[in-house]
Amino acid sequence: MIVLQEIHRSYILPNITVEVLKGISLEVQNGDFAAIMGPSGSGKSTLLHILGCLDRPTSGKYILDNVDVSTKTDNELAVIRNRSIGFVFQSFNLLPRFSAWKNVELPLLYSGIDVKTRKMRALEMLGRMGLGGRAEHKPNELSGGEQQRVAIARALINNPSLVLADEPTGNLDSRAGKEIMGIFAGLNREGVTIVLVTHETEIAAFAKRMITMRDGACYSGCA
């Protein structure tokens, strides 16, 4: 599913160029469940943003589902993100004025799906997450674990082949974190490819594979 070839990412600052990724080569197979670990500043989140087409490499090639996304325009990348990739973040990123189902439907709205179908699919997805009775609640009326399940429902609403998660349990207590990881493990058993960033060994243990980064390079698990 994913092939990275000698990916570099540098940022130009006043009087200095900072190289964050230093020649990352990585393969992720369809149906894989990979956890990216490493100390702060090792480039984990930058790598995840490139995998999610939220950022571009300075050099190197990124093949996603046999498509070289390195050459795509911003508009083409936006379509790929909407159709093929689901995102789950540490901070949930829910819109506070919207109910749970309205947060979940957003990717469908951008796809031009009619409102009746959007609501039906959003409610179905919330039901899968065990939140069928919380669909009309706003984020501030939900627990942290419930908010993250809404975020996962939103990530899955377009049936993406790839889900990317950046510290998805970072704002949760240990019990809620394990519940969320149980959901990810179940999705992976259904065939969804998952790549997540975490600094917690207990969370990484849910994955089938561990990728370790140090100083912008892949230290282990990339092959």
The pLDDT, as a whole number, for residue 109 is 84
The pLDDT, as a whole number, for residue 198 is 93
3-class secondary structure, 36? strand
Pick from 16, 3, 13, 6: which is nearest to 59 by CA? 6
Using an 8 Å Cβ cutoff, are 143 and 173 in contact?
Answer: no
| Per-residue pLDDT reduced to its tens digit, 35-46 | 999 988 899 999
Report the C-alpha gap between 68 and 155 in whole angstroms: 23
Mean pLDDT across the chain? 92
The pLDDT, as a whole number, for residue 181 is 94
Using an 8 Å Cβ cutoff, are 44 and 212 in contact?
Answer: no
Q: Which fold has domain 2-220?
A: Rossmann fold (3.40.50)
Domain positions in the chain are 2-220
The pLDDT, as a whole number, for residue 130 is 92
The pLDDT, as a whole number, for residue 21 is 95
* pLDDT > 70 in the chain, percent: 100
Cα end-to-end distance, the chain, whole Å? 14
Report the C-alpha gap between 22 and 73 in whole angstroms: 24
